[in-house]
């Protein structure tokens, strides 16, 4: 194991920032319902989060503080995914800061800038997975599923953080957003992807080192983090809460239609209360913990294809 917590945090924050931007982008485009309020907070936090993560990465480099002028060469090897990442992250931080600032000031934002930010956000989320997926000497990472898993987790954590922060930056009414549905889809997709990923590894398709890594996660050293933090807190708990909330929301909405005697305002207030409940806050935090646990598991359970010591 050569990479430690700072890299875990960096990968997590890269995905989180990217997901936050894409959440607000989706809300702005109306994909999260006509009145989703998530169209701002994600833009505010996306670039600062990714920038902070990148700063942590610099601290983790052996020479980051020792000889920082060497870092300029990080732009030099176009065959290195890490170099791609430096370009993608730099561009995303710059575009994200512009988008966030203009949104904060309520100034018009060129369509091209918003779209460029969304593409770069997607690239940032995918990059954190591709960085690992290209390492053939680590069978646990060397799969095309990795970027898909990281992007879905990025979207899910980004949506949760944006939902958490929106009430703090925007005091308007809660609209009839489809955030709940989006969340069920994302968490559900993540469950399926993780099952395929671990199934592939356990089957031995990526060799014995991949099998051992998967065993560390599912039944070994990291089993508690996997089942407790990632599967339990990160996926199962949120999916149950989101499904229940969504059903309640649909019921409440029906009531408004079928019982005109109930004042629309009251019912909307109930819905709003539901959205702000401690349960919702807890669920969103729980999703964030799960996303963080996922990055930690992937990094810490990475076993090399050969240990460098054992010969037959």
User: Footprint of another protein on this chain (CB under 8 A)?
Assistant: 2-3, 60-64, 66-67, 70-71, 73-74, 76-77, 79-83, 86, 134-139, 141-145, 192-193, 196-197, 199-200, 205-207, 302, 304-306, 308-312
Q: Judged by CB, which is closer to another protein: 109, or 299?
A: 299
Q: Judged by CB, which is closer to another protein: 114, or 211?
A: 211
Q: Judged by CB, which is closer to another protein: 77, or 219?
A: 77
Please state, in angstroms and as integers, the Cα–Cα distance from residue 119 to each residue in 22, 88, 112, 134, 288, following that order: 9, 10, 10, 21, 23
Q: Tell me the C-alpha distance between 213 and 215, whole Å.
A: 5
- Report in angstroms how near the CB of residue 84 gets to another protein at its nearest: 9
- Report in angstroms how near the CB of residue 258 gets to another protein at its nearest: 17
Please state, in angstroms and as integers, the Cα–Cα distance from residue 300 to each residue in 7, 61, 80, following that order: 10, 18, 22
Say how many C-beta atoms besides its own lie within 10 A of residue 232's C-beta: 17
Q: Judged by CB, which is closer to another protein: 106, or 309?
A: 309
Q: Judged by CB, which is closer to another protein: 135, or 268?
A: 135
- Report in angstroms how near the CB of residue 250 gets to another protein at its nearest: 12
- Report in angstroms how near the CB of residue 287 gets to another protein at its nearest: 21
Q: Tell me the C-alpha distance between 246 and 256, whole Å.
A: 15
- Report in angstroms how near the CB of residue 137 gets to another protein at its nearest: 4
CB distance 92 to 117 below 8 Å: yes
Largest CA distance in the chain: 80
Q: Tell me the C-alpha distance between 149 and 235, whole Å.
A: 13
Please state, in angstroms and as integers, the Cα–Cα distance from residue 19 to each residue in 69, 108, 200, 212, following that order: 31, 22, 26, 31
- Report in angstroms how near the CB of residue 311 gets to another protein at its nearest: 5
Q: Judged by CB, which is closer to another protein: 46, or 152?
A: 152
Q: Is 119 exposed, middle or buried (0-12, 13-18, 19+ CB in 10 A)?
A: middle
- Report in angstroms how near the CB of residue 12 gets to another protein at its nearest: 18
Cα R_g (the chain), whole angstroms: 21
CB distance 229 to 293 below 8 Å: yes
Q: Judged by CB, which is closer to another protein: 25, or 242?
A: 242
């Amino acid at each position: 194991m050569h990479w430690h917590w700072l890299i875990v945090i960096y990968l997590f924050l890269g995905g989180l920032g990217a997901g936050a931007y894409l959440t607000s982008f989706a809300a702005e485009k109306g994909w999260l319902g006509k009145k989703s309020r998530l169209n701002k907070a994600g833009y505010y936090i996306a670039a600062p989060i990714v920038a902070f993560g990148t700063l942590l990465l610099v601290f983790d480099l052996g020479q980051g503080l020792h000889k920082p002028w060497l870092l300029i060469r990080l732009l030099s090897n176009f065959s290195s995914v890490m170099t791609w990442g430096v370009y993608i992250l730099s561009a995303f931080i710059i575009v994200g800061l512009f988008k966030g600032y203009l949104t904060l000031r309520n100034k018009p934002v060129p369509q091209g800038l918003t779209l460029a930010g969304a593409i770069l956000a997607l690239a940032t989320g995918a990059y954190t997975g591709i960085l690992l997926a290209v390492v053939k000497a680590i069978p646990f990472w060397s799969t095309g599923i990795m970027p898909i898993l990281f992007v879905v987790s990025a979207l899910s954590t980004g949506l949760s953080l944006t939902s958490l922060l929106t009430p703090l930056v925007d005091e308007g009414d809660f609209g009839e957003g489809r955030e709940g549905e989006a969340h069920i889809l994302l968490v559900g997709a993540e469950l399926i992807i993780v099952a395929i990923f671990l199934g592939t590894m356990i089957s031995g398709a990526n060799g014995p080192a991949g099998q051992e890594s998967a065993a560390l996660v599912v039944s070994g050293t990291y089993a508690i983090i996997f089942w407790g933090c990632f599967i339990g807190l990160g996926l199962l708990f949120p999916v149950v809460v989101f499904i229940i909330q969504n059903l309640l929301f649909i019921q409440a909405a029906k009531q408004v239609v079928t019982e005109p005697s109930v004042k629309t305002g009251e019912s909307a207030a109930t819905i709003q209360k539901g959205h702000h409940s401690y349960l919702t806050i807890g669920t969103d935090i729980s999703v964030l913990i799960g996303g963080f646990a996922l990055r930690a598991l992937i990094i810490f359970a990475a076993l090399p294809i050969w240990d460098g010591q054992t010969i037959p």
